[in-house]
């Protein structure tokens, strides 16, 4: 089978080779976190924020509705534990989103909403029923910006999409939350993808995964073989990709698979007639279809300078502090990042909650050498997957030369973090360029 990829990006060497990554994956066993309290933001997605529908003092069960958006461009929010609502106030997240948040104190009784129970009539669900369940589930993209999955499916149907892609590739080293679902719950991931394909009205489903994950590929193939008679009306295939970062980014996956670049401001649905979801999103929808369980928890990878890797099943709203209590050596961290090693955001407070789009917590314990001036080696140019010159853009940013930045296509930056990761001088190229790209895109739409 031909293995697909894109030409730039990078292959980690030295301290991050793939032998160590395979070892990490074997050690990244799943744990379950039961927090003392959760703080659940009312905006964890792109679109309309939710308004709380509970009050201080209310008793809630896991899965109860606690926030509803004013229109269909948002997604509902549900209680991730059972307990008492103790506070409703404003919160600011590391991604600069400010919104209301509901704090729930855990009563440790693990009460579950009466609506959550095994569904006996799955085969009788119509496409309209599946569409309603998708919105009610509160699911948004769990591996990217957090686009409401319902909104994405509606857009896909309107644009006449014919293919659904399940993204099982990784955009950063050591992220393994999606891979864990594939290794342990491949059948559920497949069933969730099939349900989404029904909502989108597509007949072709392609699973995209990197070639180094033999166990996960075997699990996927077994799931396909077991269920192919059930889905005779649809084409299901697995495509292998060469391991290269940041392969998991939507634009790069599409380029590797179709040989087509997605222009700025456009989506795969209109360019290649394909819609993309990640494995965790598919698993979450499978849970909603099978037992009416909305999105109330997710797997978070704990990585970085830790003794062993961790995959933790975390109720939405759990603080970073409570999660790290179970990680040996975390107390001596120099920095904690909310997210992966390449695109994570350093946080100043461990009270920050996990939200639906949080894929990882990265622990940095090693001493960082002082940053040097740019040595003009060009390593960042070779790593940039969209063909920019990060060293030049960073210099133009320092000089405040906005017009020259735009001439160098700064708005094309996808904030993948590759340039910062490979820079031998330790310069935070990605942070500066991503901010400039955001400003450029915003000014272009005015």
Per-residue pLDDT tens for 105-162?
Answer: 999 999 999 999 999 888 889 999 999 999 999 999 997 788 999 999 999 999 999 9
Give 435-441's long-range contacts (Cβ < 8 A, gap of 24+).
436/393, 436/397, 436/405, 436/410, 437/410, 437/411, 437/412, 437/413, 440/405, 440/406, 440/410, 440/411, 441/264, 441/411
Q: Which residues pair with 277 in a beta bridge?
A: 166
In which band, very low, low, confident or very high, does the pLDDT at 186 lie, cut at 50, 70 and 90? Answer: very high
Q: Which of 112-116, 126-130, 172-176, 338-342 has the lowest average pLDDT?
A: 172-176
Element (H, E) at 257: helix 250-258
Whether pLDDT at 278 is above 50? yes
Q: What is the mean pLDDT of the chain?
A: 88
Per-residue pLDDT tens for 395-433?
Answer: 999 999 988 998 999 998 988 888 888 888 888 898 889
Per-residue pLDDT tens for 224-233?
Answer: 999 888 888 8
In which band, very low, low, confident or very high, does the pLDDT at 55 lie, cut at 50, 70 and 90? Answer: very high
Per-residue pLDDT tens for 1-53?
Answer: 566 665 665 665 544 444 455 555 555 567 788 999 999 999 999 999 999 99
Q: How far is CA 436 from CA 396, 404, 431, in A?
A: 10, 12, 9
Per-residue pLDDT tens for 227-274?
Answer: 888 888 899 999 998 877 777 788 888 988 998 888 877 888 999 999
Whether pLDDT at 187 is above 90? yes
Q: What percent of the chain has pLDDT over 90?
A: 55
Q: Which of 145, 379, 174 is nearest to 277 (CA)?
A: 145
Q: What angle do CA 271, 275, 277 make, to 5 degrees?
A: 145
User: What is the per-residue pLDDT for 446?
Assistant: 57
Instruction: In whole angstroms, give the CA distance from residue 391 to residue 98.
Output: 32
Q: Which domains, ranges and CATH numbers included, belong to the chain? A: 37-106 (2.40.50.100), 117-291 (3.40.50.11540), 379-444 (no CATH)
Instruction: In whole angstroms, give the CA distance from residue 47 to residue 146.
Output: 9
Q: How far is CA 235 from CA 202, 207, 285, in A?
A: 10, 11, 20
Instruction: In whole angstroms, give the CA distance from residue 151 to residue 67.
Output: 18
Instruction: In whole angstroms, give the CA distance from residue 45 to residue 144.
Output: 10
Half-sphere exposure of 260 toward its Cβ, with a 13 Å CA cutoff? Answer: 14
Instruction: In whole angstroms, give the CA distance from residue 217 to residue 207.
Output: 10
Instruction: In whole angstroms, give the CA distance from residue 118 to residue 120.
Output: 6
User: What is the per-residue pLDDT for 19?
Assistant: 43
Q: Is 139 helix (H, G, I), strand (E, B) or coil?
A: coil
User: What is the per-residue pLDDT for 442?
Assistant: 78
């Amino acid at each position: 089978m031909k293995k697909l990829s894109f030409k730039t990006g990078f292959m980690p060497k030295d301290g991050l080779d793939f032998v160590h990554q395979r070892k990490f994956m074997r050690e990244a066993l799943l744990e379950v976190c039961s927090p003392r309290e959760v703080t659940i933001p009312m905006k964890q997605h792109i679109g309309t924020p939710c308004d709380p529908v509970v009050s201080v003092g209310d008793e809630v069960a896991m899965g109860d509705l606690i926030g509803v958006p004013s229109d269909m461009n948002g997604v509902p929010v549900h209680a991730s534990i059972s307990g008492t609502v103790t506070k409703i106030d404003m919160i600011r997240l590391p991604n600069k989103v400010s919104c209301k948040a509901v704090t729930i104190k855990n009563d440790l009784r693990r009460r579950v909403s009466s609506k959550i129970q095994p569904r006996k009539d799955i085969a009788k669900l119509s496409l309209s029923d599946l569409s309603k369940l998708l919105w009610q589930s509160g699911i948004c993209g769990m591996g990217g910006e957090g686009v409401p999955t319902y909104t994405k499916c509606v857009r896909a149907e309107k644009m006449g999409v014919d293919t659904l892609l399940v993204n099982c590739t990784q955009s950063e080293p050591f992220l393994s939350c999606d891979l864990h679902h594939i290794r342990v719950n491949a059948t559920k991931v497949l069933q969730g993808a099939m349900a989404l394909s029904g909502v989108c009205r597509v007949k072709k489903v392609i699973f995209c995964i990197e070639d180094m994950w033999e166990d996960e590929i075997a699990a996927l193939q077994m799931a396909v073989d077991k269920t192919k008679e059930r889905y005779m009306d649809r084409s299901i295939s697995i495509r292998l990709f060469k391991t290269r970062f940041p392969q998991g980014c939507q634009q790069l996956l599409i380029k590797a698979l179709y040989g087509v670049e997605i222009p700025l401001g456009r989506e795969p649905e209109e360019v290649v007639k394909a819609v993309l979801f990640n494995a965790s999103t598919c698993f979450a929808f499978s849970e909603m279809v099978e037992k009416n369980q909305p999105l109330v928890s997710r797997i978070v990878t704990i990585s970085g300078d830790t003794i062993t890797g961790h995959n933790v099943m975390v109720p939405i709203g759990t603080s970073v502090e409570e999660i790290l209590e179970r990680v040996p050596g975390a107390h001596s961290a120099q920095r904690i990042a909310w997210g992966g090693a390449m695109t994570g955001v350093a946080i100043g407070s461990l009270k920050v909650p996990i939200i639906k789009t949080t894929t990882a917590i990265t622990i940095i314990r090693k001493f960082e050498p002082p940053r040097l001036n740019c040595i003009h080696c060009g390593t960042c140019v070779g790593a940039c997957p969209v063909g920019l010159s990060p060293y030049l853009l960073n210099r133009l940013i320092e000089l405040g030369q906005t017009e020259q930045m735009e001439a160098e296509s700064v708005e094309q930056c996808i904030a993948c973090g590759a340039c910062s990761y490979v820079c031998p001088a330790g310069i935070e190229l990605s942070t500066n360029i991503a901010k400039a790209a955001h400003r450029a895109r915003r000014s272009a739409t005015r």
